[in-house]
């Protein structure tokens, strides 16, 4: 994949992320994906307020490859996989900061553009489509 399509953000492993086995709990991986979407939305969509989020989650999945430990330095890499009429999808990869070949997990999600006032799905706006296209995997 072209690195210019990749969006990356550092993930800080918190003590509260750990389970009784001493590694990051499986449910927290989805929180890491959420953090990526938040940072992506702030930087790419210029979201500055919670009301600026114009999409809802329709589907999310994660494949767990190796455990994340407390002292691991993790980066979330994400990119746009698809842009539809009313939805778009992200793919995710949690990797080690020092060695991106060391993959902790992969995942994907589908977001649906949504009008919260009218309580219904809406089309991906031209502006959003343009922003998403810059991170679309070719």
Cα atoms in the Cβ-side hemisphere of radius 13 Å centred on 131 = 15
> Are 137 and 83 in contact, with CB atoms under 8 Å apart?
no
pLDDT tens per residue, range 44-90: 999 988 888 899 999 999 999 999 999 999 999 999 999 999 999 99
pLDDT of residue 138: 74
Q: Whole-angstrom Cα distance, residue 43 to residue 21?
A: 35
Please return the burial class of 103, using the count of CB atoms within 10 Å of its CB with bins 0-12, 13-18 and 19+: middle
**What does pTM read for this prediction?**
0.94
> Are 37 and 91 in contact, with CB atoms under 8 Å apart?
no
pLDDT tens per residue, range 111-130: 999 999 999 999 999 999 99
pLDDT of residue 46: 92
pLDDT tens per residue, range 4-43: 789 999 999 999 999 999 999 999 999 999 999 999 999 9
């Amino acid at each position: 994949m072209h690195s210019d399509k990749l969006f990356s953000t550092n993930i800080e492993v918190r003590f509260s992320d750990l389970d009784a086995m001493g590694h990051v709990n499986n449910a927290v991986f989805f929180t890491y994906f959420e953090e990526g979407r938040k940072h992506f939305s702030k930087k790419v969509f210029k979201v500055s307020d919670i009301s600026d989020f114009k999409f809802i989650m329709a589907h999310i999945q994660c494949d767990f490859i190796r455990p994340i430990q407390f002292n691991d330095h993790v980066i979330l890499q994400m990119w746009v996989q698809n842009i539809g009429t009313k939805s778009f999808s992200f793919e995710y990869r949690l990797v080690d900061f020092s060695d991106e070949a060391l993959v902790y997990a992969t995942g994907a999600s589908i977001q649906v553009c949504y009008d919260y006032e009218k309580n219904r799905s809406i089309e991906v706006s031209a502006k959003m489509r343009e922003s998403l296209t810059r991170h679309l995997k070719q």
